[in-house]
């Protein structure tokens, strides 16, 4: 059963204007709305087939995504693919994107270590995420982790108490709240990792079963 809760408007009320994802991506390639474009290899925009019902939103591209220019192709993306498969959700039928479109990292020798985007960067980049949702008009958005949740629903909605719930922001598609798959990769305790992975698959399965609320017609 879906647990519904009313929440305030999504963070980005003003967003980019474009007719298609291709046009939007083209616009975003020149984005300088925050500083993250300076050190990244390239923008990593969302991708998916033309018509989808479900949009998956992660945090930001990682090292492999930055190099390839595609979202969720690194270790967390491969784990996401396996969990989607177990949940019965076909990634090829989803649009996959991130709250922040450029890779933020800290150089450490030859490595580039993931660095969490801050609130200002997430707000700036919601300009693109909001426009993606306006064009796609999905029946459900899956927030993968706290940064995605912040971008979609603002600072008052927290991941832990809302995990596994479907929230209904005003004038936006419903949002299913769950963890980011990279969280599973960081858990050291095997039993805990198994439990969290099982819960993650269970959360994703709610997207498969989701039916939009019917709005009663006025008498």
In this chain, which stretch among 50-58, 68-76, 98-106, 175-183 interacts with ligand SF4, using CB under 6 A? 98-106
One residue of 112, 124, 172, 206 binding ligand SF4 per CB under 6 A: 124
Judged by CB under 6 A, the residue of 100, 143, 144, 149 near ligand SF4 is 100
Q: What count of residues does the chain have?
A: 219
Judged by beta carbon, residue 130 or residue 174, the one nearer ligand SF4 is 130
| Closest distance of CB 28 from ligand SF4, Å | 5
Select the residue interacting with ligand SF4 from 37, 52, 78, 164 (CB under 6 A). Answer: 37
Q: Is 28 in the site for ligand SF4 (CB under 6 A)?
A: yes
CB of 38 to ligand SF4, least distance (A): 8
Residue 12 sits in the site that holds ligand SF4 (CB under 6 A): no
Binding part of the chain for ligand SF4, among 94-102, 134-142, 152-160, 169-177 by CB under 6 A, reads 94-102
State the Cα torsion 97-205-3-5 to the nearest 10°: 0
CB of 16 to ligand SF4, least distance (A): 10
CA 98 – CA 80 distance, rounded (Å): 14
Among candidates 131, 47, 136, 132, which has minimal Cα distance to 91?
Answer: 47
| Burial letters 47-57, b for 16+ CB under 10 A, else e | ebeeebbbbbb
Selected from 125, 143, 159, 204, the binder of ligand SF4 by CB under 6 A is 125
Let me know: does 4 contact 168? Beta carbons within 8 Å.
Answer: yes
What angle is formed at CA 145 by the lines to CA 133 and CA 198, rounded to 5 degrees? Answer: 115
Give the C-alpha distances (Å, rounded to integers) separating 215 from 130, 192, 193, 212: 23, 40, 39, 9
Going by DSSP bridges, is the β-strand pair 175-178/140-144 parallel, antiparallel, or unpaired? parallel
Instruction: Please report whether residue 16 would count as binding ligand SF4 according to CB under 6 A.
Output: no
Distance between CA atoms of residues 54 and 64, nearest Å: 24
Q: How far is the CB of 180 from ligand SF4 (least distance, A)?
A: 17
Residue 65 CB, nearest distance to ligand SF4 (Å)? 13
| Contact residues: ligand SF4, CB under 6 A | 28, 31-34, 36-37, 43, 100-102, 121, 124-125, 128
């Amino acid at each position: 059963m879906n647990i519904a809760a009313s929440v305030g408007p999504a963070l980005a009320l003003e967003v980019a204007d474009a007719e298609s994802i291709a046009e939007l991506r083209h616009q975003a390639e020149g984005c300088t709305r925050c500083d993250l474009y300076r050190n990244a290899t390239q923008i990593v925009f969302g991708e998916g087939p033309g018509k989808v019902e479900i949009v998956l939103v992660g945090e930001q591209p990682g090292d492999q995504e930055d190099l390839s220019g595609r979202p969720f192709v690194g270790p967390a993306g491969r784990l996401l693919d396996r969990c989607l498969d177990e949940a019965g959700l076909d990634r090829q039928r989803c649009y996959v994107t991130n709250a922040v479109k450029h890779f933020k990292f800290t150089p450490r020798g030859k490595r580039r270590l993931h660095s969490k985007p801050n609130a200002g960067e997430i707000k700036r980049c919601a300009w693109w995420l909001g426009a993606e949702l306006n064009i796609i008009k999905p029946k459900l958005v899956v927030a993968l982790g706290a940064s995605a949740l912040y971008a979609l629903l603002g600072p008052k909605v927290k991941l832990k108490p809302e995990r596994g719930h479907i929230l209904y922001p005003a004038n936006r598609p419903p949002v299913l709240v769950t963890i980011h798959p990279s969280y599973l990769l960081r858990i050291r305790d095997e039993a805990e990792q198994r439990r969290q992975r099982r819960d993650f698959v269970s959360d994703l399965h709610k997207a498969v079963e989701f039916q939009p609320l019917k709005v009663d017609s006025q008498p």
